Amino acid sequence: MAGQVLSPATGRTVLLLSLACCASMMSQRICDAMLPELARQFDSTLAATSQVVSVFSVCYGLAQLFYGPMGDRYGKLGVVVYTTIGCGLGSLLAVAAGSLQALVLARMLAALFAAAIIPMSLAWTGDAVPYERRQETLARVGLGTTLGNFTGQLLGGVLTDTVGWRWAFAVLSVFFLVVAVLLYQDWTGQRKASSAAEAAAPTAGMVVQILMLLQDRWVRKILILSVVEGAAGFGIMAIVASHLHLQHAVSLSMAGAVVALVGLGGVFYMVLARHVIHRLGEHGMALTGGLAMALAMLVAAWSASWQLTAAFMLMGGFCFFMLHNTIQTLATQMAPNSRGLGVSIFASALFLGQALGVLFASLLIPHWGSSAVIGVGAAMMASVGVALHRQLLRRRAGRTV
């Protein structure tokens, strides 16, 4: 890492981890567009068929904490290798599913493995990359996650419409297994170095480690901000497409495309991250990201033009991922000696926030209306950006946080 330049070996591993994260996110999103066809194929209701999405999400969320201690003890890259293989096999079982129940079980298996890939990839990056280069490198890993969000929905919809839903899982399975083979080769070549780097893995139980982490005030603040960010940026944002459909009478496809511009903005940020980080710094990205995403949500809530909303969604997505990537980078440094567990707790906090945001929205929309609920989400995003900006300035000045 001389001169803070990533070695070719580290750069290669980062690229492969980005591909693994892309596959993991594709697996999470691949069923979104195929639900009506699955309901027809299995002669079931849309509500029952949606289990292929909901069960995946629940299993994915619950499994997060399990992999943190495993990665710290046995090696994060190895955990990613074997869980990527598991995802490929789970997707292969989905291809052969002869009933809705069998498909749900296959999705459950895939979710239990997929839960490890993104947090362990982030934790490995935290171990391998100096903090000065970490946010930029995490953006490269995150590019795979963001692209997977797009391509999963696209792959599921296009293949279901053309050659059938089973082909979507077949292509996904091949993708997982090819990435797993490449990662295995890379891991085998680096195993000695990885073992030396992770030889001091903690031996305390998971509960004890979690309690020790939560005694740190800074860790508690990062986790609280993660919950609020998840609730607003991922939970409440989930209702924006329905809001646009009802308020502006645009098709669900168009409304979904407008909201998808948030992800496209995220892709632009990942590509330009190095320049943005150098210009704004962590505190500047936190403030700009929170306030800009809040503005985009306010426009979505009350603008009379869905076209204007589309423009602000693109801008908001670019800035939102500035904030999200900053929090993510800080999460990799919460527990340097138990980084796998630390990142897993962060991922769980983000997932909990997303679930709470969806619940909050579903309970309050009948009483307040979708515009007001999205407006509350905007206020939450702004508060996260301002609060993190202030805390980072205090830390930089050497004051107690």
Which pLDDT belongs to residue 271?
86
The percent of residues above 70 in pLDDT, for the chain, comes to: 93
Which pLDDT belongs to residue 20?
96
Q: Is residue 87 within 8 Å of residue 113, measured between CB atoms?
A: yes
Q: Is 7 left (phi over 0), alpha (psi -120 to 50) or beta?
A: beta
| Residue range 239-289, pLDDT digits in tens | 888 888 888 888 767 887 788 888 889 889 988 988 999 899 999 999 999
Q: Is residue 342 within 8 Å of residue 213, measured between CB atoms?
A: yes
223 contacts: CB under 8 Å, gap ≥ 6:
214, 345, 346, 349
| Cα–Cα distance for residue pair 77/117, rounded to 1 Å | 9
Which pLDDT belongs to residue 261?
86
Question: CA end-to-end span of the chain, whole Å?
Answer: 31
CATH class, range 1-199: mainly alpha
Domain 202-401, what fold?
Answer: Growth Hormone; Chain: A; (1.20.1250)
Which pLDDT belongs to residue 5?
66
Looking up tokens 């293989």, which residue turns up?
A: 85
Q: Which two three-digit tokens encode residue 321?
A: 């991922």
If pLDDT is split at 50, 70 and 90, which confidence band does 400 have? very low
* pLDDT higher than threshold 70 for residue 192: no
Which pLDDT belongs to residue 401?
41
* pLDDT higher than threshold 70 for residue 3: no
User: Averaged over 57-61, what is the pLDDT?
Assistant: 82
Going from N- to C-terminal start, the domains of the chain cover: 1-199, 202-401
346 contacts: CB under 8 Å, gap ≥ 6:
119, 222, 223, 226, 327, 328, 331, 334
User: Averaged over 37-57, what is the pLDDT?
Assistant: 82
296 contacts: CB under 8 Å, gap ≥ 6:
262, 312, 313, 315, 316, 317, 319, 320
162 vs 86, higher pLDDT: 86
Q: Which two three-digit tokens encode residue 126?
A: 């935290």
Cα pseudo-dihedral 143, 255, 307, 303, rounded to 10: -110
* pLDDT higher than threshold 90 for residue 150: no
* pLDDT higher than threshold 90 for residue 366: no
Which pLDDT belongs to residue 372?
95
Which pLDDT belongs to residue 254?
81
* pLDDT higher than threshold 50 for residue 344: yes
If pLDDT is split at 50, 70 and 90, which confidence band does 198 have? very low
Angle of helix 100-128 versus helix 8-29 axis, rounded to 10? 150
Choose among 61, 58, 53, 46: nearest CA to 32.
53
Which pLDDT belongs to residue 295?
97
| Cα–Cα distance for residue pair 356/380, rounded to 1 Å | 13
Choose among 128, 126, 140: nearest CA to 1.
128
User: Averaged over 340-355, what is the pLDDT?
Assistant: 86
Which pLDDT belongs to residue 203?
53
- Report phi then psi at 200, rounded to 5: -95, 25
Which pLDDT belongs to residue 197?
46
